[in-house]
């Protein structure tokens, strides 16, 4: 009996773990873009019709993984008080939000509006569950939305299915002190000239090293992996085959050069050492400082990553485009194909992502908690501080002045981050996006790391990468 | 409440009512997923197309799992880590328990020691893995300590740590200023680290169970052994260990089941070795569950539930077979056991 019990117990323990994550039984989602969309596009909703304040009524159900969107819903109620908004927030820890949404689609009981994170926006854009909002393209052009942010929300058939209120281009943050020590000039114009291309970037890294061997161009080579992936001329999966773009393959050489010539400090992104280097608190084992010149981070990297960890180096920072244009992060908003309140859903997307008034309020910190509480006294302590770079060229230009005196300007030695990121966003192009990119890029990064660590030679590393992807995506053409 | 029969039937009925919530819970949250996993392991649940019809594809998933060298390799890794963790764990737990319960030593403050040894078990393994990732960083505290004690220099110059696992940090003038050992890039070290953390987290809990087992052995047995002149070793091997068999069986089975499923520590170390942490290793220390999650669950759209279910079934099979072998071995010993005891009792 005891034996039986033990066997039963071990069965349950083993299986309990193994199935823990499977419970969203067969709720198939869709990436690769080659599949037929799940549901045909719903009959077009008259999206361009002007809606007066207070004209709408009925319900609106909004699902989000971030409470940023809740601020939007409250502001929306200010314009449309007769709409009864239900806001449901589910964090996407362990894919919870995404699984809930997939299950809802599966059960045919969808919300009206959803917010989608950059990590999974492509999946929903490609799987045919989002409403075709292409009719809003004119409005989007009118406010000067950045093309690459619109591209991310565009499905392979050319239809726009999600819009975003923010723009998240990535730049290169650098330390002014090091630039003046080495080159005698710390202006962004000069530094951009030094790092404008991949070759220039490498040359600049060597100059820093030659000036003082304890100055490193980057904390680790992994910093420029993601930016490099943006340079691909073709998607990772083309004609159902895995394609390693030559641009991406050149990472092997570039990373190896950085490693061999000691141009990186070997301190990984998000490591304790990385954070302490912002504050010039990064020391080798003998206690001498290791100085890091630059960091690849996008818009949100400034207020949320660097500034909180760099209180001793305020004013010693600058921001330039860097060698690779890239984008990192962002939140998109889409309406569901089968939205029960389609009209309100479309109006909400228009309000949240395409209304200049809302975006201006969003960027300049109008949506304080007091402001929002006046609209809906029942809300929690939510608010939106100033500083988010919004997805409108018109507003980015208009708001430059506003940010001349912001805390970010002090931090960047007087440089206006809004202007700088606006300019970077203007040069950013994003193509060849696929839902499976994240997984493939992780595996590729591992291959490059194995190569530069001397664990595998280049061919072995590439073979290991291919076999890993083959395990993950066995349906591709592997002949 | 008048007749026995009526009372009995009433209790019976209420019994069902009382166990119902538990049974319903088990059925929905454990039994259904298990059955579903078994079914899905035979299906094309690739999660790739939104309208995909799940269809049965025979043993294709299993074939793919068996052809996945990374996964098959991880079976050995899992065993290695479990073994490296379990042997010292049970050894030290037995030794400390013998000391703590010894009638001769009569140690003081046993409760305090036991509490201290148990404390690590209260921590989340993931937290501990994160902590150690920071501790062993290239310029982290452990490296600073080792360098300042001269140990890093010795490790590097004696060739114990190979050249490409050592970071030579240059000073301002370019001359070597300091060195650090890139621990995260040494697979053997990381494997040992996983086993060590597992040991550190669990030996306290094992001590408590072993001690409970030991104190339940009748003192009179020990007393008569002393009277007969038995030494510490004899007492341990002839009395303590045989009578601890049920406890040992429990520890072995639970540790084995847990050990085969180990995921958090190697997973976090593996992430630390990949993107974002230079000097990381390929996942030579990836266990079965780590490979399953990494390859079949990774990425929102690249996951393949069918393959993951099949891998889960393989993990289940490995654990089940090992457990059955274990029970079988313990049973062989058990058959001899009562005879000896009976003989002894007869003698006394």
Q: Which range (A93-97, A211-215, B153-157) has the least confidence?
A: A93-97
Which residues on A lie below 8 Å from B138 (Cβ)? Answer: 266-267, 273
pTM of structure? 0.81
Q: How far is B297 from chain A (nearest CA, A)?
A: 8
Inter-chain CB proximity B50 and A6 less than 8 Å: no
- Cβ–Cβ gap A284/B139 under 8 Å: yes
CA A91 to chain B, closest CA, distance in angstroms equals 15
Which chain A residues contact residue B286 at CB under 8 A?
Answer: none
**Cβ contact A142:A149 at 8 Å:** no
- Pick from A22, A122, A128: CB nearest B308: A22
Give residue A268's pLDDT: 85
**Do B139 and A38 make contact, defined as CB atoms within 8 angstroms?**
no
Q: Which of B54, B178, B301 sits opposite A26 (nearest CB)?
A: B54
End-to-end CA distance of chain B: 52
Best mutation target among B32, B139, B164 (most A Cβ atoms within 10 Å) is B139
DSSP assignment string, B155-212: HHHTTSS-GGGEEEEE-TTSSEEEEEE-GGG-HHHHHHHHHHHHHHHHHHHHHHHHHH
Q: Where are the domains of chain B?
A: 73-138+195-347, 139-181
**CB of B213 closer than 8 Å to CB of B244:** yes
Distance from CA of B8 to the nearest CA of A (A): 26
- How far A310 CA lies from chain B's nearest CA (Å)? 19
**Class at the top of the CATH hierarchy for domain B73-138+195-347:** mainly alpha
- Burial status of residue B330 (CB atoms within 10 A of its CB: 0-12, 13-18, 19 or more): middle
pLDDT at A16 over 60: no
Domain A58-167+329-399: CATH class, spelled out: alpha beta
Place of tokens 């963790």: B85
Check A19 against B37: CB less than 8 A apart. yes
User: According to the model, what pLDDT value does residue B10 have?
Assistant: 61
pLDDT tens digit sequence for A340-362: 999 999 999 999 999 999 999 99
Interface contact flag, A18 B309, Cβ < 8 Å: yes
Least CB-CB distance to B48: which of A32, A286, A467?
A: A32
pLDDT given for residue A340 in this prediction: 93
> B177, A214: Cβ pair inside 8 Å?
yes
CB B93, CB B250: distance < 8 Å: no
Q: How many helices (H) and strands (E) does chain B have?
A: 16, 2
pLDDT digits (tens, 9 = 90+) for B268-303: 887 654 433 444 455 678 899 988 988 887 766 677
- The residue extents of the domains of chain A are 58-167+329-399
Could you give the CA distance from residue A218 to residue A224 in angstroms, rounded to a whole number?
9
Nearest neighbour of A455 by CB, restricted to B50, B282, B302:
B282
Answer yes or no: is pLDDT of A384 > 90: no
Crossing angle for the helix pair B245-260 and B305-347, nearest 10 degrees?
170
pLDDT tens-digit readout, A247-265: 999 999 999 999 999 999 9
Residues in chain B within 8 Å Cβ distance of A436 = 299, 301-302
Listed residue (A242, A255, A226) closest to A442, CA to CA: A226
Q: Which of B126, B187, B276, B334 best probes binding to A when mutated, by most A CB atoms within 10 angstroms?
A: B276
Which pair of tokens denotes residue B189?
């070290």
């Amino acid at each position: 009996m005891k034996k039986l019990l033990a066997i039963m117990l071990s069965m349950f323990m083993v299986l309990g773990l193994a199935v823990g994550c499977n419970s969203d039984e067969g709720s198939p989602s869709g990436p690769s873009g080659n599949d037929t969309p799940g549901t045909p596009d719903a009959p077009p909703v008259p999206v361009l019709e002007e809606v007066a304040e207070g004209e709408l009524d009925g319900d609106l159900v909004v699902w989000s993984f971030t409470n940023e969107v809740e601020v939007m819903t409250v502001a929306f109620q200010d314009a449309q008080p007769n709409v009864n908004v239900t806001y449901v927030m589910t964090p996407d820890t362990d894919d919870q939000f995404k699984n809930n949404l997939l299950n809802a689609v599966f059960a045919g009981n969808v919300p009206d509006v959803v917010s989608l994170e950059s990590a999974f926006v492509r999946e929903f854009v490609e799987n045919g569950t989002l409403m075709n909002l292409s009719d809003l393209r004119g409005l989007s052009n009118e406010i000067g939305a950045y093309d690459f942010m619109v591209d991310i929300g565009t499905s392979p058939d050319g239809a726009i299915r999600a819009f975003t209120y923010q723009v998240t281009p990535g730049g290169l943050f650098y330390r002014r002190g090091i630039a003046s020590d080495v080159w005698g000039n710390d202006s962004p114009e000069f530094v951009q000239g030094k790092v404008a291309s991949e070759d220039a970037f490498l040359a600049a890294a060597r100059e820093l090293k030659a000036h003082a061997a304890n100055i490193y161009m980057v904390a680790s080579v992994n910093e420029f992996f993601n930016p490099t992936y943006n340079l691909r001329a073709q998607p990772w999966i083309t004609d159902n085959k895995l394609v390693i773009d030559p641009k991406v393959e050149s990472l092997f050489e570039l990373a190896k050069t950085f490693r061999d010539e000691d141009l990186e400090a070997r301190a990984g992104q998000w490591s304790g050492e990385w954070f302490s280097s912002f504050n010039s608190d990064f020391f080798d084992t003998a206690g001498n400082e290791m100085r890091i010149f630059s960091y690849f981070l996008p818009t949100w990297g400034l207020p949320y990553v660097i500034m909180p960890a760099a209180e001793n180096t305020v004013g010693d920072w600058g921001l330039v485009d860097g060698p690779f244009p890239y984008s990192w992060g962002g939140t998109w908003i889409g309406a569901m194909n089968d939205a029960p309140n389609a009209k309100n859903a479309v109006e909400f997307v228009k309000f949240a992502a395409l209304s200049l008034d809302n975006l201006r309020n969003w960027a300049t910190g109008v949506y304080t908690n007091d402001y929002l509480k006046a609209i809906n006294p029942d809300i929690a302590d939510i608010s939106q501080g100033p500083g988010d770079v919004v997805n409108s060229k018109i507003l980015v230009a208009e708001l430059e002045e506003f940010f001349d005196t912001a805390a970010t300007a002090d931090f960047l030695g007087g440089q206006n981050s809004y202007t700088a990121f606006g300019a970077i966003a203007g040069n950013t192009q994003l193509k060849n996006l696929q839902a499976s990119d994240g997984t493939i890029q992780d595996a590729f990064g591992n291959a490059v790391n194995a190569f530069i660590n001397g664990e595998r030679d280049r061919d072995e590393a590439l073979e290991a990468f291919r076999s890993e992807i083959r395990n993950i995506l066995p349906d591709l053409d592997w002949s | 409440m008048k007749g026995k029969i009526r009372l009995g039937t009433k209790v019976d009925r209420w019994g069902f009512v009382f166990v119902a919530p538990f049974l319903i819970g088990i059925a929905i949250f454990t039994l259904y997923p298990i059955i579903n996993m078994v079914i899905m392991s035979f299906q094309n649940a690739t999660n790739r197309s939104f309208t995909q019809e799940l269809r049965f594809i025979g043993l294709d998933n299993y074939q793919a799992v068996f052809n996945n060298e990374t996964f098959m390799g991880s079976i050995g890794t899992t065993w290695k880590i479990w073994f490296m963790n379990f042997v010292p764990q049970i050894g030290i737990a037995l030794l400390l328990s013998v000391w703590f319960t010894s009638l001769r030593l009569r140690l003081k403050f046993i409760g305090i020691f036991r509490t201290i040894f148990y404390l690590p078990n209260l921590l989340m393994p993931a937290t501990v893995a994160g902590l150690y990732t920071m501790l062993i960083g290239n310029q982290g505290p452990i490296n600073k300590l080792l360098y300042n004690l001269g140990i890093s220099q010795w490790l590097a110059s004696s060739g114990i740590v190979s050249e490409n696992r050592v970071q030579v940090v240059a000073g301002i003038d370019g001359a070597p200023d300091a060195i650090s050992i890139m621990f995260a890039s040494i697979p053997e070290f990381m494997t040992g680290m996983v086993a060590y953390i597992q040991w550190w987290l669990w030996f306290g809990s094992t001590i408590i169970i072993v001690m409970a087992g030991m104190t339940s052995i009748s003192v009179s047995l020990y007393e008569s052994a002393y009277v007969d002149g038995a030494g510490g070793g004899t007492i341990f091997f002839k009395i303590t260990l045989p009578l601890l068999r049920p406890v040992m069986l429990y520890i072995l089975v639970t540790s084995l089941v847990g050990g085969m499923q180990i995921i958090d520590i190697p997973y976090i170390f593996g992430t630390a070795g990949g993107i974002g942490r230079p000097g990381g290793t390929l996942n030579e220390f990836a266990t079965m569950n780590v490979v399953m999650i990494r390859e079949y669950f990774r990425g929102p759209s690249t996951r393949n539930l069918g393959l993951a279910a099949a891998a889960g079934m393989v993990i289940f099979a490995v654990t089940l077979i090992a457990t059955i072998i274990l029970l079988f071995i313990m049973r062989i010993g058990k058959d001899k056991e009562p005879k000896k005891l009976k003989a002894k009792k007869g003698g006394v």
